[in-house]
Amino acid sequence: MGRVRQESKKEQIHEKIWETLEEKKEGVHYSDLVRVLSEKLPGINKNTIHCAL
């Protein structure tokens, strides 16, 4: 059977990290990055985001 693989939370976070860094070429502070990721990924716990960074 063809099973579709779902992205892990870590993969989702890393994808959004790169997306955010592409948007902010000048860079971003760690705390601002966590805030932006929390907004973009509301279903993922903030502690999980910290661990993935």
- pTM higher than 0.85, yes or no? no
Amino acid, single-letter form, for residue 14: H
- Whole-number Å distance between alpha carbons of 45 and 51: 10
| pLDDT 10s digits, 2-52 | 566 668 999 999 999 999 999 998 999 999 999 999 999 999 999 999 999
* C-beta of residue 34 within 8 angstroms of C-beta of residue 26: no
pLDDT confidence of residue 10: 93
CA–CA dist 40, 11 (Å, integer): 14
